[in-house]
Amino acid sequence: MASFSTTATVDDPRISLGDDGILPPVRGGGGDDGSSPGLPDYATRLRRARLGLLVALTPVLMLFVSFSSAYVVRQGLPTLDPRTNTLVRDWIPVTLPKLLLINTGVLILSSVFMELARRQIKGQATRVPPTSAPGVSAGDQTRIPWLTMTLVLGLAFLFGQWTAWRQLAANGFYVATTPSSSFVYLLTGTHAIHLMGGVLALFVAGIASLLRRSVATRSIVVDVTAWYWHFMAGLWIYILCLLEFAS
């Protein structure tokens, strides 16, 4: 059992506790003592944004885990052939277009560029005081336009996926042709939709740059987008391996 050991009389804890009760704004990352007053600083905002991304990626992961589980289960199911009245397999493996390998290379390269962009702007953000006003230039920010190059490669990847789907269709594999083709379209399409989210974030980063938002803000947008982009690249490699080796 705890006991009350202070002699302080507390009538209104909001106003009477001085440094033992209510203090001016303190943001400490949760119960720790490493806090600083005022608006969350760059490090805090960056940490929070990264944590938010990590949490956000969990349901994305669960989505693809769920699809993968369905893929494995569906692959092993027989179906009744009404003509012969016997159980047969309707899983016809799809020959993936070679273009997907090129697309993979494009996405990996874009991920490298994205990482370079992240490091470049992070370096700028840490050199500039975090309280820098919007519109204040942090120096030579566009020496190598890594972000633009990432964006171009991202769009190239999406165009490549579209072309690969057209090749699949030309070979007779539509969404409902066979369960394996259903999964090819499902997995690659869902991945493409998610990557579009990354492309959108790159546009946002570009607009933030045009609007001359603070380097710290842009750095956080780029940092989070970069980790998301890397996740998408890793996810794509997983999907490709699943489709290629588990069929």
Binding mask 151-180 for other proteins (x = CB under 8 A): ------------------------xx--x-
89 SS3 class:
strand
Q: Which residues of 47-80 are buried (b: 16+ CB within 10 A; e: fewer)?
A: eebeeebeeebeebeeebeebbeebeeeeeeeee
Q: Work out whether 9 is an interface residue with other proteins (CB under 8 A).
A: yes
- Smallest gap from Cβ 166 to other proteins, in A, equals 17
Tell me how far the alpha carbon of residue 112 is from its chain's centroid.
Answer: 15
Q: Which DSSP state fits 132?
A: P
Nearer of residues 150 and 198 to other proteins, judged by Cβ? 198
Q: Work out whether 198 is an interface residue with other proteins (CB under 8 A).
A: no
- Smallest gap from Cβ 79 to other proteins, in A, equals 3
| Residue 136, CA distances (Å) to 2, 203, 212, 215 in order | 54, 21, 7, 8
- Smallest gap from Cβ 70 to other proteins, in A, equals 6
Q: Which DSSP state fits 139?
A: S
Binding mask 75-94 for other proteins (x = CB under 8 A): --xxxx-x-------xx---
Report d(CA 27, CA 88) in Å as an integer: 63
- Interface with other proteins (CB under 8 A), residue from 41, 43, 70, 238: 70
- Interface with other proteins (CB under 8 A), residue from 56, 144, 196, 241: 56
Q: Work out whether 17 is an interface residue with other proteins (CB under 8 A).
A: yes
Report d(CA 23, CA 20) in Å as an integer: 8
- Interface with other proteins (CB under 8 A), residue total 63
Q: Work out whether 242 is an interface residue with other proteins (CB under 8 A).
A: no
Paired tokens of 216: 């710290």
Q: Work out whether 60 is an interface residue with other proteins (CB under 8 A).
A: yes
Q: Phi and psi for 80 in degrees, rounded to 5?
A: -80, 130
Nearer of residues 15 and 210 to other proteins, judged by Cβ? 15
Q: Work out whether 22 is an interface residue with other proteins (CB under 8 A).
A: yes
Q: Which residues of 87-112 are buried (b: 16+ CB within 10 A; e: fewer)?
A: eeeebeebebbebbeebbebbbbbbe
Contact window for other proteins (CB under 8 A) among 36-44, 105-113, 196-204, 229-237: 36-44
Q: Work out whether 182 is an interface residue with other proteins (CB under 8 A).
A: yes
Q: Which helix (H) or strand (E) holds 37?
A: strand 36-37
Paired tokens of 189: 């399409």
Q: Footprint of other proteins on this chain (CB under 8 A)?
A: 1-6, 8-10, 13-14, 17, 20-33, 35, 37-39, 44, 47-48, 51-52, 55-56, 58-63, 65-67, 69-70, 73-74, 77-80, 82, 90-91, 175-176, 179, 182, 186, 190
